[in-house]
Amino acid sequence: LQPTPVILLKEGTDSSQGIPQLVSNINACQVIAEAVRTTLGPRGMDKLMVDSRGKATISNDGATILKLLDVVHPAAKTLVDIARSQDAEVGDGTTSVTLLAAEFLKQLKSYVEEGLHPQTIIRAFRTISVPVKKDDKQEQRQLLEKCAATALNSKLIAGQKGFFSKMVVDAVMSLDELLSLKMIGIKKVQGGALEDSQLVSGVAFKKTFSYAGFEMQPKRYDNPKIALLNVELELKAEKDNAEVRVKSVEACGGSIQTSVGAMTDDVLGQCELFEEVQVGGERYNFFKGCPKAKTCTIILRGGAEQFTEETERSLHDAIMIVRRAIKNDSIVAGGGAIEMELSKYLRDYSRTIPGKQQLLIGAYAKALEIIPRQLCDNAGFDATNILNKLRAKHAQGGMWYGVDINNEDIADNFAGCVWEPAIVRINALTAASEAACLILSVDETIRNPRSSMDGPPGGAGRGRGRGRPHAH
C-alpha cells in the first residue's frame, strides 16, 4: 500500500530549500546592489524614480532610492532595511552599506556552507581610528566642516558644499547638549538661488494669519511677549497653527491659553526679536533668540521642487554626520582609505589563522575592496590599476591612502581632509556583516499563497524566492 503523503501546508504554498535557495537569495541581493551601485562617491550618478502616482524623485541617497523601489523579494528586503537603519543611526553611508553587504555575499557565495562570525571583523575595526580634538573651538569647527563637506561631496549640491557645510555646522553648534534633530527645522521655499538659503537662529514659519490693517503694523519687535492662544482668531487651516504653537512653546516658553481672560506674565513666552520677512513669494515670521530651547531653522531656496527636496535630504545627511562627529570624536579617512587599510589588516590577520576561517576572512577582506573599486568605476578610472597602487601603498604602511577623485590617482585622504566619523564605517560594517550572516542563515522560504496578492492564489509566489538548482 502506498502511504498517504502528509500535507502540512495549504495547497499552492511555495517553499524552496537548501543551497539553491541560498544562491537565489544572494542573487537577489546583487540586484539590489546594482540599483544603487552607481550613486557612490563624488562622481556618482543620481537616480530618478517615479512612483505609482507619477511623482518623480531625484535622489542620490541610497536609503531614499531603496525606499522608493518597491522591493518584493523577502531576502532582498533585508538590504533595504539595513540601508534604512544606517540612515536612522548615522544618516550617511547608506549606499556603502548596501554595497558592502551584497559584496560580502558575493564573495561568500563559494563558501555558502560556512558560518563566518562578524565579531572578528569588528574587533579588527576597533583598532583603527583617530580622535577628533575637541578643545580648540576654532579647530573643532574646521574638523566638523570637513566632515560635513565629505558628506555633501557625493550629493547634487556638491558645488555649494563650502556654503552648506558652514551652515550645517552652525545649525548643529547652535543646539544644546542633547543635539536633538527635531530642533533643526528645514523649510523649503521655491524660487531664488541655492545661495539664498539661510539659517535662522530661532523659529521660522510661514505667516499663517492676517487681520485688518496688518500692513500698517510694525514688522519687527524687540523683546516681545508672545501669547500662545488656542483660540480661532480666524478661520484658517488648523494644521499650520498647531505646528506653529508646538514649535513656539518648545522654544519660547510660556503655555498655550484657551481663553483670553487669564493673561498673566507667567503664561506668556518671550524672545529677543520678532520680525516678518519676505522670503520668495511667502511672508515668514521669525522668532529669534528664544530663551528656552536652542532651535534653528534652515530656509532652503532653489528652483525645481525635486531639487530642493534632494537638497533637504543631502543636508539631513550632513547634519547627522556633524552631530555624530561631535558625539563620537573619532574620525577616519574616507575615499576608500579605511576599507583598504582594513582589507590589508584582515589579509595579514587571516594568514595567522589555521583552517577554513582563513579563507573566509580572506573573502571578507576582498569584499571590502568594493568601495574604492566602485569609487573608481563611477569616476571612470581604471579600477584595477588604482587598487594595485593602493594595495602597495597600504602594505608599505600608507595607512590613510585612498582614491583621489580629482587627479585620477591615489592620495593621503587624511591630509586631504576627506574625513568621516568612525561610527559611520563601524555601523556600516556591522550592519552589512549582520545582514550577510542573516541572509546566509536562511535556507528555506515558505510563502503563503494568500499573502502575495498579485495574482490568483497558487500561481502567485512562483518565480520569486524559488531556489532554482544552479549548475555548480
Could you give the CA distance from residue 47 to residue 68 in angstroms, rounded to a whole number? Answer: 11
Could you give the CA distance from residue 297 to residue 188 in angstroms, rounded to a whole number? Answer: 10
CATH for the 140-234+245-329 domain, from 3.90.1310.10, 3.30.260.10, 3.40.50.2300, 3.40.50.300: 3.30.260.10
Report the interhelical angle of 118-126 vs 422-441 (nearest 10°). 170
Secondary structure (3-state) at 192: coil
> Residue 150's closest CA among 401, 417, 464?
417
346 is written with which cell numbers?
Answer: 584582515
35 is written with which cell numbers?
Answer: 540599483
Could you give the CA distance from residue 143 to residue 286 in angstroms, rounded to a whole number? Answer: 30
Contact 202, 186 (CB under 8 A): no
Q: What is the pLDDT of residues 298-340, one digit of tens each?
A: 888 888 888 888 888 888 888 888 887 777 767 788 888 888 8
pLDDT tens digit at each of 472 positions of the chain: 667 666 666 666 666 677 777 788 888 888 888 888 888 878 788 888 888 888 888 888 888 888 888 888 888 888 888 888 888 888 788 888 899 888 888 887 776 655 555 555 555 555 555 555 444 456 678 888 888 888 888 788 888 888 888 888 888 887 766 667 777 888 888 888 888 888 888 777 776 566 666 666 777 777 777 776 666 555 555 555 666 666 666 666 677 777 666 677 777 777 778 888 888 777 888 888 777 667 788 888 888 888 888 888 888 888 888 887 777 767 788 888 888 888 888 888 888 877 667 777 788 888 888 888 998 988 888 989 999 999 998 889 888 888 888 888 888 888 887 888 888 888 888 888 888 877 877 777 777 776 555 544 444 444 444 444 455 4
Alpha carbon separation from 431 to 123, 361, 468 (Å, rounded):
14, 17, 28
Residue 456: burial class (beta carbons within 10 Å; 0-12, 13-18, 19+): exposed
Alpha carbon separation from 408 to 43, 343, 389, 404, 414 (Å, rounded):
12, 21, 12, 6, 17
Could you give the CA distance from residue 319 to residue 322 in angstroms, rounded to a whole number? Answer: 5
Q: What is the CATH number of domain 14-134+333-447?
A: 1.10.560.10
H/E stretch holding 49 reads strand 47-50
Half-sphere exposure of 38 (CA within 13 A, CB side): 9
Helix ranges, 351-467 (H): 357-368, 370-379, 383-395, 422-441
Contact 100, 301 (CB under 8 A): no
Q: What is the pLDDT of residues 216-230, one digit of tens each?
A: 677 777 777 777 666
The residue written with cell numbers 576597533 in the block is: 126
Return the domain boundaries, the chain. 14-134+333-447, 140-234+245-329
249 is written with which cell numbers?
Answer: 512653546
Secondary structure (3-state) at 307: helix
